Every structure is written in structure tokens, then in C-alpha cells.
């Protein structure tokens, strides 16, 4: 695995509805990096400056060593996993409120900017910037959703210079499956 790739795992404390404490033993995800021949670093995923520094260093390492790097960004999922998830079935309101109060990344950034008197940053200017960015993201999502869907054949392209036999077999299995169930695709 000698290629300059950065893998980012946002560890939000849960695997859908199961706490990571019940998912695996050991010290998070980053401790597994050496077993895959990768360098690894854990970072406070709610600290924009720490994440930026970790990615910058990982990029430098990956390029200099032509080797992959795993970044485990420790975070917390304040909302539900999906629209069909009720996260209050497996965690308390107090837990969610604690993390929302103690480590919300936008609140932390705003406090930093205010503390360092960053060019007149006020609650109103910060809120306006956050709203503007939210609208930009929503606009980009709407544009992306209007694009035509890629063909399923594209699943098999641009990975290998020459497609290995195992992947050719998977491609044929997919074609057979689609031919059997054409109304589903």
C-alpha cells in the first residue's frame, strides 16, 4: 500500500445506534493503522485548527513517503444517525446536551474568534456567515442531485489499469443480477 492517501475516520462515538464501547475493544480506530502499514494520528475532530494541522501534516507525510495516513477525528454526533433513527433510545438527553454545550465545533470556533477579537466578529456576523455557508452547501446538494446518475458499470472503472479476474467476475454477477431484476434498476 505504497500510495499517498489520507483516510479520515470521523469517530462520533457511535456506529449507528451502538456505542463504540460496545463495538470494539482497544484504543479507538487509529491504533489499527500500523496493522495496515499506515501511519496514524488522532485529533480532536471538533477543533477546526487541530483538524487542519493534522491534515496538513498527514498530507506532507503521505507525499514525502508515498504512504497512506489514517486520521481519526474524535467528534460527537449531536443529531440522529438518519431520519429513521431516534438516538434518544440509546443515549440520554443529558449526554447530547453535555456534548452540545462542551464541544460544539461552531461554538468553539466562534468563541475563539471572539476571544481573539478577529476583525469585528460578532454573534450576528458569525451567524450570518454560518447561514451563508449552510445555503451554499444546500445549493451544491441541489445541483448534485439534478445531475444524471452514473451507470453501474462505472463502479468497475478507474480503479485498476487492468481489471483483475475477481472484479470481472463481480461485474458479471452484477450484470446477471440486473438482467434477472430489471425493474429494480
Q: Determine the Cα–Cα distance for residues 37 and 1; give it in Å rounded to an integer.
A: 7
* Active site (annotated) includes residue 81: yes
Catalytic residue among 24, 52, 59, 77: 77
Q: What is residue 48's DSSP assignment?
A: H
Q: Pick from 23, 26, 24, 29: which is nearest to 9 by CA?
A: 29
Q: Determine the Cα–Cα distance for residues 60 and 48; give it in Å rounded to an integer.
A: 18
Catalytic residue among 14, 52, 89, 90: 90
By three-state DSSP, how is residue 40 classified? strand
Q: Determine the Cα–Cα distance for residues 43 and 58; give it in Å rounded to an integer.
A: 12
Q: What is residue 167's DSSP assignment?
A: H
Catalytic residue among 32, 61, 81, 108: 81
Answer for the pair 55, 41: CB distance below 8 angstroms, yes or no.
no
Answer for the pair 38, 102: CB distance below 8 angstroms, yes or no.
no
Q: Catalytic amino acids? A: 77, 81, 90
Amino acid at each position: 500500500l505504497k500510495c499517498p492517501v489520507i483516510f479520515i475516520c470521523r469517530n462520533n462515538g457511535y456506529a449507528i445506534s451502538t456505542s463504540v464501547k460496545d463495538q470494539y475493544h482497544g484504543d479507538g480506530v487509529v491504533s489499527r493503522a500500523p496493522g495496515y502499514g499506515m501511519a496514524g494520528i488522532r485529533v480532536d475532530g471538533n477543533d477546526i485548527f487541530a483538524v487542519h494541522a493534522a491534515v496538513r501534516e498527514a498530507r506532507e507525510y503521505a507525499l514525502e513517503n508515498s504512504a497512506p495516513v489514517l486520521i481519526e477525528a474524535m467528534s460527537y454526533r449531536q443529531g440522529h444517525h438518519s431520519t429513521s433513527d431516534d438516538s434518544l433510545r440509546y443515549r440520554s438527553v443529558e449526554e447530547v446536551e453535555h456534548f452540545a454545550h462542551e464541544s460544539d465545533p461552531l461554538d468553539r470556533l466562534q468563541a475563539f474568534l471572539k476571544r481573539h477579537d478577529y476583525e469585528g466578529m460578532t454573534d450576528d456576523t458569525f451567524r450570518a456567515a454560518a447561514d451563508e455557508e449552510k445555503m451554499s452547501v444546500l445549493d451544491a446538494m441541489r445541483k448534485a442531485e439534478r445531475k444524471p446518475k452514473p451507470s453501474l458499470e462505472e463502479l468497475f472503472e478507474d480503479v485498476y489499469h487492468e481489471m483483475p479476474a475477481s472484479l470481472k467476475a463481480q461485474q458479471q454477477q452484477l450484470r446477471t443480477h440486473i438482467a434477472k431484476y430489471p425493474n429494480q434498476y
